[in-house]
Chains A and B, each alone.
Chain A
């Protein structure tokens, strides 16, 4: 687990994207650009979320796990009812950051031919040469998507916050 996280976090996203596309076709999986792109981003996201969750779980005092065991909760019950609600509150802000990173990292999928917003913008610019205006538009659209994610994260934070 630790080695997986270290290797993936130390690898650039572009390398992961190219590897998932070309390695999958080399071993006969033949994923399309879309699936290979999702796979690469999911692997990258999982390593970051894994670290965030690990840190949040370690921050919970050991007594909580022992108390859950003492009252006879199974591992699943202890995790879902005791550990996860506490860990989730701690890892939510970092998770929102990772989600925003994924939206930004999706621009790299244009190199394997995924027709996402940046590639579409470049296609439009190649027809009308209005590069400044359309790149600004693309930037504004990425901002709107990330702003939505950030607002959603804040909403979930408010909903799951402990009453003061």
Chain B
């Protein structure tokens, strides 16, 4: 039985969505924490 890409995509939809969720949450947390630290450090040096 041959599986097309769309069939495979449908089967793996939750796995991909989970991956996107983890990627977005890690990126957001890193950007937020990094920005807070990055803004505070030079400001304290003023």
- Which A residues form the contact surface with B (CB < 8 A)? 1, 4, 34, 37-38, 41-54, 57, 65, 75, 79, 83, 95, 98-99, 102-103, 106, 109, 114-121, 123-124, 128, 130, 133-134, 137, 141-142, 145
Contacts and interface: CB of A to CB of B under 8 A. Distances in A.
Contacts, number: 126
Contacts of B26: 34, 37-38, 41, 106, 109, 114, 116
Interface in B1-46: 3, 5, 8-9, 12, 15-16, 18-20, 22-24, 26-27, 29-31, 33-39, 41-43, 45-46
A102 B34 contact: yes
A121 B36 CA distance: 32
B4 to A, nearest CB: 9
B12 to A, nearest CB: 5
A103 B27 contact: yes
- By secondary structure, the B interface counts as helix
A50 B19 CA distance: 29
A57 B45 CA distance: 11
Contacts of B46: 57, 65, 75, 79, 83
